[in-house]
Structure 1
Amino acid sequence: MGMIGLRDLRPNDVGGLADIWHASASLPGVGPPVLPSREAMRWRFEHELMPACRIIVAEQGGEAAGFAAMKLGERVLDQLFVRPGLLGSGVGRCLLDAVKREMPSGFTLFTRPTNPRACRFYEAAGLQILRREIHPRFGDPIVVYGWRPGA
């Protein structure tokens, strides 16, 4: 597979990263009950994520392998997605380690309880369950996790 590299977002990444986001969110239990279209997710990437987030791209073999989008001011990991064929390859861990470096005083995120793989991933990386609530946009259950250094 090759080394995993991290870099900042480039303008020509948008389509490929939106495709990764859509493909990953399409996996069973990952995305909302009714998944937005690929076009809608590309729009959200450009108009919601890019203006509000610091986005780090993971690359492997010259191709985008995943991304993390962080709202640094709010100390929130807004999105972390890995290309479905690369789950378990270390890309997610590499991105999460970068997020910890970007927000060293801690951060929160949420995922869906219907995505046990993500829950195990975050718990193995030292994140704690803070609370369970309802997704503000989609209305389905979510689990809110938090990470603090030394916790």
Structure 2
Amino acid sequence: MTSDTASIELRPATEADRDRIAEIWHAGACLPGVGPAAAPLLATLRQRVDAEFAQGWLAQVATRGDEVLGFAAVKPAERVLAELFVAPEELGSGIGTRLFGWVRGVLPDGFTLYTRPGNERACRFYERAGLHRLRTGLHPRFGDPIVYYGT
């Protein structure tokens, strides 16, 4: 982890970022408690990145120099934070907080999200950021337990 958040820049995601977005998403989803029991394949997530952008994702990336270190993606029409992932080696560096600030700016009237209850790091992050647990449910793709948060 690098703690120099002053060198972190946020910018809109471009098509050229999509491979790296998929890599970060995959690396994060493979961490214990974060993704489904059977971790998604990188190629599957890469295809999904294109599909999500085609369906209206608005995404921001966090960079240091030319390196993409994290991303956040929202579905503005639904007021949903769809994804927020930071490269595992950068967890705890403040990148997630910066990206979350961008989400709040893009969705100032509030938003919802869900995560797995086993993703304790994310649950603590969202609760410290002032989100409230709204309810529990089942993941729409995988059927495992999730917890919904909202502002």
Counterparts of 1:118 and 1:22, CA distance in 2? 16
> Per-residue deviation at 1:133?
0.6
- Give the structure 1 partner of residue 69 of structure 2: 65
Residue type of the alignment partner of 2:46:
R
Q: CA deviation at 1:61?
A: 3.5
TM-score, normalised by the number of residues in structure 1: 0.94
Which secondary structure does the structure 1 equivalent of 2:33 belong to?
A: coil
Distance change >3 Å, CA 110–CA 119, structure 1 → 2? same
Q: Which residue of 2 aligns with 1:16?
A: 20
Q: 2:86 is aligned with what amino acid?
A: V
Partner of residue 84 from structure 2, selected from 55, 76, 80: 80
Within 2, Cα distance between the matches of 1:27 and 1:50? 27
Q: 1:1-151 to 2 correspondence within 5 Å?
A: 1=2, 2=4, 3-147=7-151
CA offsets per residue over residues 98-143 of structure 1, 9 Å max, x none? 0000000000000100110000000000000000111111000000
SS of aligned partner of 1:41? helix
User: Could you tell me how far apart the structure 1 residues matched to 2:122 and 2:54 are?
Assistant: 23
CA distance in 1, matches of 2:29, 2:53: 15
Shift of 1:62: 2.6
Residues 70 and 77 in structure 1, CA contact (< 8 A), matched pair in contact too: yes
SS of 2:16's equivalent in the other structure is helix
Gaps of 5+ in 1: none
Runs of 4+ aligned residues of structure 1 deviating over 4 Å after TM superposition are none
The C-alpha deviation readout for 1:37-70, integer Å capped at 9, x for no partner, is 1000000011124532101111124310100110
Is the CA contact (8 Å cut-off) linking 1:49 and 1:69 kept in structure 2? no
Please report the TM-score for the alignment, with normalisation by the length of structure 2: 0.94
Matched AA of 2:21: L
Cα root mean square deviation, aligned: 1.0
